Amino acid sequence: MSVDVLEEVFSPKSVAVVGASGNPATWGYSYTAHLLDYGFRGKIYPVNPRYSEILGIKSYPSLLDVPGSVDYVISCVPAGEVLNMLSACSQRNVKVVHLYTARFSETGRQEAAELEQQILKQAREYGIRLIGPNCMGIYCPRAGLSFGYDLPKESGSVGMVSQTGGGASGFVHMASFRGIRFSKVVSYGNALDFNESDYLDYFAGDSETKIILMYVEGVKDGKRFFDTLRKAASAKPVIITKGGRGKSGTRVAASHTASLAGFIKTWEALVVQAGAIPVRNFDEMADIAVSFYFLPPVLGSRVGVVGGGGGPSVLSADECEEIGLDVIPLPQEIRQELKGKGIQIWDWVGNPIDVSIIGGFGFTDIDMLQMMAANDNFDLLIANVNEGVIVTLSRQEGMTARLQSAVDGYMNIKKQSSKPLLTIVGEKSLGRGDLGHWSTELVSETRTRLIEVGIPFYPTIGRAANAAKKLLDYYTRRR
């Protein structure tokens, strides 16, 4: 039932923005602008008695004046006007209203909580379903719906259910820089009507969604939630962040979305038991999401690590092991192969491969990676492009050639081998003077090429190792 209604939410033929505005500083403006910018192909009806036109489209004084049928309403009116708006929605047979409108139970005030309950009661009487209140609603690039400027206009296979709107929007933006594209994202706020279980249930069955991400602060019905989670996790990977884990977090979560937060350990145990993957923040969520998005299954812990000179390669090994991966010694077959090729340091090179020692011996880190890819002792590979290595250690020409041939090498390995290959392309805190530097451009070019060929990158070895281990645990449990 909820699933059917939600299916329509993601494919509306007409949308009204009630409380639309011509003032670019308002969300009534932004939601209207997004419909235009993201190419919504149905009818768009801005509603506001103070405008006859908004962004070049005719604006209507009231929902009752809109000429056609309205599938979906985005409400940007103040809290006190919602009951009247619902009445108009009812007269126009609107099925779903997204209440961007806030200042309800999340304020902790009794009269606001009471108004929220009245709204729910009236919506139920009218047969209108609600998304929110106090949320950013839907981002669905295929449908032309968005809640942010500059989010990707292309669709992908990641779905997201998020109690927080700012967090969802920030996440979509950040994850898009790592190559992820989304099927549908819903920010649901106070979950007055549709709640986290309804959305999760929908995404579990949605054929456009291959990976589900969730951010929740609290759940309305624990049993139903974990039952739904188990069902969803049996169909596809589900990655969950719980917000409001501590004393003060609980306090804030209560004010933010009026829900009580549980205790994190029990929570994480239940999430794992249901077959889903708990993560602690949005960075970790992005790492795991990008791994499922791009990688084949991780089926063992034996990792080959290539790249990084000296100390960074030592630390690579430490961080992989501390996470629970197994940095095995270089297999004898590879040593013999190196020896057979006349590589003088055949007995010295190890795993991780310290690139600072291999120069001038007639083989490269990519050659080593290829040997590891072909060797049965390795379950997965990590190639460090530039963590702990300054790109400007060499001059532009040399470094450009090196990074280009590295990406070519990774591409070949990806084609020839079914082993997961994770790459490390470090971030740096660029200032004004560094933005136009060739090394910045080279690193950006490298990232873009990696995304284009479907090879995920991570900012640090530690984060790549963590992602690989979480995938390994996931696939191990499923076998």
Give whichever of 17 and 70 is closer to its own copies, judged by the CB atom.
Answer: 17
Contacting residue, 84, 398, 476, 478, with its own copies by CB under 8 A: 398
Write the DSSP string, 128-180. Answer: -EEE-SSS-EEEBTTTTB-SSTT--SS--SEEEEES-HHHHHHHHHHHHTTT-
Encoded one letter per residue, x for contact with its own copies by CB under 8 A and - for no contact, window 298-327 reads ----------xxxxxxxx-xxxxxx----x
Would you state the structure tokens that stand for residue 56, as one six-digit string?
């070049």
The 10 Å Cβ neighbour count of residue 189 is 27
Q: Which of residues 250-279 bind its own copies (CB under 8 A)?
A: 251-253, 255-257
165 is an interface residue for its own copies by CB under 8 A: yes
Q: Which of residues 37-76 bind its own copies (CB under 8 A)?
A: none
CA distance 145 to 455: 29
**At its nearest, how many Å lie between its own copies and the CB of residue 184?**
18
Contacting residue, 363, 378, 410, 457, with its own copies by CB under 8 A: 457
**At its nearest, how many Å lie between its own copies and the CB of residue 86?**
23
**Element of type H or E holding 340:** helix 332-340
Region of 83-91, 138-146, 411-419, 429-437 interacting with its own copies (CB under 8 A): 429-437
**At its nearest, how many Å lie between its own copies and the CB of residue 64?**
28
**At its nearest, how many Å lie between its own copies and the CB of residue 207?**
28
Q: Tell me, rounded to whole angstroms, the distance of Cα 158 from its chain centroid.
A: 7
23 is an interface residue for its own copies by CB under 8 A: no
141 is an interface residue for its own copies by CB under 8 A: no
Give whichever of 206 and 217 is closer to its own copies, judged by the CB atom.
Answer: 217
The 10 Å Cβ neighbour count of residue 259 is 22
Contacting residue, 12, 46, 133, 244, with its own copies by CB under 8 A: 244
Contacting residue, 121, 149, 153, 336, with its own copies by CB under 8 A: 149
Give whichever of 130 and 425 is closer to its own copies, judged by the CB atom.
Answer: 425
Angle (CA) 215-217-218 rounded to 5° is: 120
Region of 37-45, 82-90, 225-233, 455-463 interacting with its own copies (CB under 8 A): 455-463
CA distance 56 to 43: 14
**At its nearest, how many Å lie between its own copies and the CB of residue 89?**
25
Region of 34-42, 62-70, 167-175, 405-413 interacting with its own copies (CB under 8 A): 167-175
**At its nearest, how many Å lie between its own copies and the CB of residue 61?**
24
Would you state the structure tokens that stand for residue 161, as one six-digit string?
């259910």
Residue-wise burial string across 119-137, b where 16 or more C-beta atoms lie within 10 A, e elsewhere = beebbeebebbbbbbbbbb
Give whichever of 68 and 398 is closer to its own copies, judged by the CB atom.
Answer: 398
Q: Which of residues 181-240 bind its own copies (CB under 8 A)?
A: 215, 217
162 is an interface residue for its own copies by CB under 8 A: yes
Please report the beta strands in 321-444, taking only residues with DSSP state E, as ranges in sequence order: 380-384, 421-424
Contacting residue, 59, 351, 400, 466, with its own copies by CB under 8 A: 351
**At its nearest, how many Å lie between its own copies and the CB of residue 219?**
15
328 is an interface residue for its own copies by CB under 8 A: yes
14 is an interface residue for its own copies by CB under 8 A: no
Please report the beta strands in 297-436, taking only residues with DSSP state E, as ranges in sequence order: 303-306, 380-384, 421-424
Give whichever of 128 and 443 is closer to its own copies, judged by the CB atom.
Answer: 443
Would you state the structure tokens that stand for residue 441, as one six-digit string?
């451009």
Contacting residue, 347, 405, 476, 478, with its own copies by CB under 8 A: 347
Residue found under tokens 């994202």:
185
Would you state the structure tokens that stand for residue 172, as one six-digit string?
């979509």
Amino acid occupying residue 291: S
Q: Applying CB under 8 A, what is the total number of residues that bind its own copies?
A: 105
CA distance 367 to 9: 51
Give whichever of 24 and 340 is closer to its own copies, judged by the CB atom.
Answer: 24
CA neighbours within 13 Å on the CB side: how many for 473? 17
425 is an interface residue for its own copies by CB under 8 A: yes
Torsion angle of the four alpha carbons 425, 277, 415, 321, in this order, in degrees rounded to the nearest 10: 60
Amino acid occupying residue 221: D
Would you state the structure tokens that stand for residue 15, as one six-digit string?
């949308």
Give whichever of 71 and 116 is closer to its own copies, judged by the CB atom.
Answer: 116
Q: Which of residues 76-135 bind its own copies (CB under 8 A)?
A: 102, 106-109
Contacting residue, 451, 468, 471, 472, with its own copies by CB under 8 A: 451
Residue found under tokens 């820089």:
177
Sheet holding 421-424, edge to edge: 303-306, 380-384, 421-424, 457-458
CA distance 27 to 136: 10
